Amino acid sequence: MSIQLTRVEEFALITIDRPQALNALSFALIADLGAAIDEVAGTDARALLITGSGPKAFCAGADIKELTGRSMQAQHDGAVFGQTTFARLDRLPMPSIAVINGFAFGGGLELAMACTFRLATANAKMGLPEVRLGLIPGYGGTQRLSRLIGESRAMEMILTARTLTANDALQVGLVNRLIGADPLAEGIAFAREFSGFSLPVLALARSAISRGMDMPLQDGLRLEADLSTLAFQTEDAAEGMDAFSAKRKPAFKDR
């Protein structure tokens, strides 16, 4: 299999293991990726990290050989397949982190953008170069990029097929942090900044932010009120407030 699912302490790790093709996304690989994400959803992992095998690439994009000579219906079905697979990351009970260790182009960047967070090594390069092939992004790139860096920057990046360095990506907000020589260790350290909190509460916060992006402000505020009310009903909220009053560390139980 080209997707490896392992456990690193309290975290799940998905590795795209196709280094001979710069971890390019074949349709079979996307199917295996979806199965791995579903498997993670049923575990007690505190976060999911996704990375690529080898030092050169996180994921260089779609396998172009598979895209040629296909019918219009097959092309549409393929785009929906990629979109729905990546969207499973939104529904995970735990946050996800893309550890971008090299090239992240096309579908590879679209996968990274579907994660909750993105960390990038200094040698990382990323972009959506589909227009060079007479195509446009089809796995969510036109939608997620604009939400992450704004419409104007996304328009420029996609229409010019511009490649960003890791530092460029940090400056525009496409990645959260730059990481060094041990990407996995630094990814785990980043995950530990939130993994001790209540997973249901983290999920409510993620939902409020992501769903609110598609709403007018007043609708988003109503959504926040509803979800914050749900957070107050959790056992973890009672534990957190009690621990604060008692000046002790809370012991959250994800309930």
Burial track 43-56 (b if 16+ CB lie within 10 A, e otherwise): eebbbbbbbbbbee
Q: Which of 130, 151, 193, 235 is catalytic?
A: 130
What are the residues whose beta carbons fall under 8 Å from the beta carbon of 137, sequence distance 6 or more? Answer: 106, 110, 128, 130, 145, 158
End-to-end CA distance of the chain: 35
Which candidate, 165, 147, 166, 137, places its Cα nearest to that of 61?
137
186 is catalytic: no
How is residue 74 written in tokens? Answer: 């097959």
Q: Which of 66, 110, 193, 239 is catalytic?
A: 110
9 is catalytic: no
Q: 48-52 and 96-100 as β-strands: parallel, antiparallel, unpaired?
A: parallel
| β partners of residue 54 | none
Catalytic residue numbers, as ranges? 110, 130
